[in-house]
Amino acid sequence: MSQLSVSLDNLQEMIGLQVRYNGVFCQIVEVIEEDFALVLADMEFHLGIQADQHGEAHRKVPKTYTVSIYNQDKKEFSPSFLMLEPMEEA
């Protein structure tokens, strides 16, 4: 299989894109540059508990998912990244 690559600029342009990930409607909200990964926010209101700076859980926030762009060898796209299905814009 041929080696594929994507730039940080390409990833930054993906912020705001709505995708389906593991059957959940999400939006790309952040790029983790050091790990070449995308952070997805659950847009279906599946909530998780977020702890404050003291470790006390006080509020519910949308779940997030981190999706690596490359596999462990950094030679091919990860299966999780390839699973992202772009949603059509209205």
| For residues 50-57, average pLDDT | 75
Please, are residues 78 and 66 in contact by the beta-carbon 8 Å criterion?
no
Please, are residues 63 and 46 in contact by the beta-carbon 8 Å criterion?
yes
Whole domain around residue 71: which residue ranges? 8-86
| For residues 27-34, average pLDDT | 94
| For residues 59-77, average pLDDT | 87
Q: How many domains does the chain have?
A: 1
Question: By C-alpha distance, which of 1, 11, 18 is closest to 36?
Answer: 11
Question: Residue 17: its pLDDT value, please?
Answer: 95
**In this structure, is residue 13 part of a structural domain?**
yes
Indicate if the alpha-carbon torsion angle 69, 79, 90, 42 is positive or negative: negative
Question: By C-alpha distance, which of 36, 29, 40, 33 is closest to 83?
Answer: 40
Question: By C-alpha distance, which of 56, 58, 60, 28 is closest to 45?
Answer: 60
**In this structure, is residue 42 part of a structural domain?**
yes
Q: Is the pLDDT of residue 8 over 60?
A: yes
pTM beyond cutoff 0.95: no
**In this structure, is residue 3 part of a structural domain?**
no
Mean pLDDT of the chain: 85
**In this structure, is residue 47 part of a structural domain?**
yes
Q: Is the pLDDT of residue 82 over 50?
A: yes
33 or 2, which is more confident: 33
Question: Residue 16: its pLDDT value, please?
Answer: 94
**In this structure, is residue 2 part of a structural domain?**
no
Q: Is the pLDDT of residue 59 over 80?
A: no
